Amino acid sequence: MWWPYVLAGFVGLMILIIIIRTLTFKAKDFPEMRKKHEFDKVRAIESLSQMIQFKTVSNIDESKVDKKAFKAFRQYLRERYPKINEVATYSEHEAGVLFHIKGMSDEQPSVLMSHYDVVPVTEGWQEDPFSGRVDEQTIYGRGTLDTKNSLCVIMEAVEYALNQGKTFKNDLYLAFGGDEEISGPSAPAIRDHLHKQGIKPAFVLDEGGAIISKMFPGVKQKAAVIGISEKGYMDVSLTARSRGGHASSPPKETAITELAKAVRRLNNHRAFKMKLTAPVKALFKTLPPHSKSFGVKMLFANLWLFMPVVKMMAKKSGGEFASMFKTTQAFTVASGSDAYNVLPSEASLGVNYRLRPFESSDTVLKRIRKIIKNPNIEVKPLKISEATSVSLIDEQFGILAKAIKQTWPDVLTTPYLMVATTDSRHYHAISDHVYKFSPMDVSRDDLRKIHGFDEDITIDNVINGVNFYLNLIEQL
Ligand SMILES: [Zn+2]
């Protein structure tokens, strides 16, 4: 009997490979010295406080938008930053503004992005959301996190650098949207303006990921997560029609029972395949090696073997982890008859899809129709924004990672896939280097305040933010 020995040898070899891979599973780290700049911190804090006081609230209902506040904000940028306004060419595109600072070369232009509109105020605020009040540690108000902060620290950094006599190697654009929160036209308008002139940005940075803790099981360090791609977005309505009438003698199937079957099919079916795309793969290469858990390290060092286990864990945990792997669907809107005793002649459901990279809205719509298999149900896409392409992780990404390390030497940096959408999705069409990172260290609590109530930001984040952009533009 020779085969048990071969089998044992094979199993032993596998275990050896798994253990060696786990023990040698390391991510490259690029240490940098902390680099601080002597800019006017009081001024930076005052600028953000003043920016918060403009009620630049976006609303789908245009009659609710205070256009004067938007105009006044733009005027504020013209007056508060005299050096930028002296050096740069200024233009407006819809509600968006663009500053163009000429560098020595126009070959490798960069775009620093943000937006100055905010979402409406929800109930529950303890503070006046537009006071911009400042105490020892904090600045309060709508837009402090999302994202007048990033706009403010970009402007403060560039103004300071120019005043110090900085000249830029390459052209620099500061592009600020005025309607990001309603997916408005200003970011596409600025992008088109650049595209028409044949400008292909070598580096684009917009809001996105941030510095957060507990990003990965067993990883103790905080991680700066940098979006290199965004999932797409699609709203779909499902509508069924049937004969209406009195509810006392209903037919076997009505518009609502047909829809219920469709929901069951969609929800039960393994409708959307899990797939490991480039941004998630990159995350799995950078964070798990830092995990203190041997089990976690072993799994991720041996994805060639354990990928099915990881996928199963994702499926089980659902939520954020699962959404990194696949197109997700959420049933969000429902309508039928207006009265309890009347059959609806028409009933409809709204479903929100988040499309994973490399899965188009077209593919997803075809899947939906195939799974429902009911010609009586009309499947209609209402709003579509495709997933973006995936930006490169190369020396341009390195510029960003370096600036992060110079500002926060102890954090890990990693690419990841963004589930939310930003204005910068429009730039993937003209650049392979579109990155999404907001230079702030935030807690899970802070993240809940975005689009919620009691939004505020620490003064440390504002100061580090200016430092970060100074470290960044030194390389541009
Ligand atoms: Zn935002």
Q: How far is the CA of 146 from the centre of ligand 1 (A)?
A: 5
**Domains with residue ranges and CATH for the chain:** 41-229+388-473 (3.40.630.10), 231-385 (3.30.70.360)
In whole angstroms, what is the distance from residue 441 CA to residue 437 CA? Answer: 11
Q: How far is the CA of 382 from the centre of ligand 1 (A)?
A: 23
Q: How far is the CA of 260 from the centre of ligand 1 (A)?
A: 36
Q: How far is the CA of 367 from the centre of ligand 1 (A)?
A: 32
Let me know: does 90 contact 184? Beta carbons within 8 Å.
no
- Predicted confidence band of residue 29 (pLDDT cuts 50, 70, 90): confident
The number of CA neighbours under 13 Å toward the Cβ of 40 is 13
124 DSSP assignment: T
Q: Which residues contact 404 (CB under 8 A, 6 or more apart)?
A: 224, 411, 413, 437, 439, 468
pLDDT (tens digit, 9 = 90+) per residue, 216-274?
899 999 999 999 999 999 999 999 998 878 888 889 999 999 999 999 999 986 788 89
The residue type found at 141 is G
Q: What are phi and psi of 275, to 5 degrees?
A: -145, 140
Report the relative pairing of strands 105-115 and 203-212 from DSSP bridges.
Answer: parallel
Q: How far is the CA of 436 from the centre of ligand 1 (A)?
A: 11
Q: How far is the CA of 185 from the centre of ligand 1 (A)?
A: 15
Preceding omega of 414 cis (within 30 degrees of 0) = no
In whole angstroms, what is the distance from residue 354 CA to residue 241 CA? Answer: 27
pLDDT (tens digit, 9 = 90+) per residue, 277-330?
999 999 999 999 999 999 999 999 999 999 999 999 888 888 888 899 999 999
Q: Is 208 left (phi over 0), alpha (psi -120 to 50) or beta?
A: left
Residue among 68, 14, 30 nearest 412 (CA): 30
Let me know: does 145 contact 446? Beta carbons within 8 Å.
yes
Q: How far is the CA of 157 from the centre of ligand 1 (A)?
A: 20
Q: What does the pLDDT average to over 38-42?
A: 97
Q: What is the pTM of this model?
A: 0.92
Q: How far is the CA of 115 from the centre of ligand 1 (A)?
A: 7
Q: If DSSP codes are grouped into helix, strand and coil, which group holds residue 292?
A: coil
Q: How far is the CA of 426 from the centre of ligand 1 (A)?
A: 14
